[in-house]
Amino acid sequence: MPTDFASVHAHLESAQAELHGSDPITLHLREAIGTLMDAALRAQYSPQAQGGEVVPFPGPQRAASRPNSRHG
């Protein structure tokens, strides 16, 4: 069963809202939960592999006709 990342994000958002203190430990925990929320969003909207399919790493694509160096 696939993970419901939107639900995970909502639960983390609720947990973060419950942290009201301003002490360093609470602030660190809020930051950690924020990092987890960002990861849940990235997982929710990232391309998913189907079966044996490989999902390419996102990045700039080079044109095949373009030289590999500036010295051509």
Mean pLDDT of the chain: 79
User: pLDDT over 70 for what percent of the chain?
Assistant: 64
Give the chain's end-to-end CA distance (angstroms, integer): 51
Which helix (H) or strand (E) segment holds residue 14: the answer is helix 5-17
Q: 2: which 2 tokens? A: 């696939």
pTM of the complete model: 0.60
| pLDDT at position 20 | 93
Which of 18, 20, 16 has the alpha carbon at shortest distance from 30?
A: 16
Give the pLDDT band (50/70/90) at residue 64: low
**Looking at the predicted structure, is the pLDDT value of residue 7 above 70?**
yes
| pLDDT at position 36 | 93
Give the total residue count for the chain.
72
